[in-house]
Amino acid sequence: MSEILYQVKIADATGHTVAQMTKPEIVAKATDAQGTWVFVNDRLVSAEELRTMEFQSTDEFKLMPGLVGGTEPTFTVEIADATGHTTVQMTQADIAEQATESNGAWVFVDNTMVAATDIAQMDFSDVQKVRMVPPLVGGMANEVC
């Protein structure tokens, strides 16, 4: 008696292919490619769980390369000006560049004023709020009586 064949969708950079595979072949394919995501009936399962689960003839299998994030995180930045403020999304590098180019703008990260030159090297992993404001100039005008 031959082993039961299951339909398996295997995704790659070009799209996906459909293959007929036995349980041992599915398990081997899932464990051979490091980081492969395995979905059974649209539920993510580990390779170990796949090895021990009982397959049903109606199960749908999908093998996908693991996703790796590649975009830099963005932060909501309030930029004050004469009309109020604008809210924009910026990366840490964008914030550092804007602060440096803004002729002395004051930058507050989580309500603490920081130097524009320090922003690029700061740890932004827990940052909640970023604000940029034009510098304030104080002083008294001399009045002639």
Q: Where are the domains of the chain?
A: 6-64, 74-133
Angle, alpha carbons 15-24-1 (nearest 5°): 115
Tell me what percent of the residues of the chain surpass a pLDDT of 70. 90
Which are the contacts of 31, defined by CB distance < 8 A and separation ≥ 6? 47, 51
Helix (H) / strand (E) containing 38: strand 37-40
6-64 and 74-133 share one CATH topology?
Answer: yes
pTM of the predicted model as reported, rounded to 2 decimal places? 0.47
Which are the contacts of 68, defined by CB distance < 8 A and separation ≥ 6? none
Q: Which CATH number is associated with domain 74-133?
A: 3.10.20
> With bands split at pLDDT 50, 70 and 90, how would you rate the model's confidence at 32?
confident
Query: What is residue 130's three-state secondary structure?
Result: strand
Q: Is the pLDDT of residue 67 over 60?
A: yes
- 6-64 carries CATH number 3.40.50.2000: no
- The residue count for the chain: 145
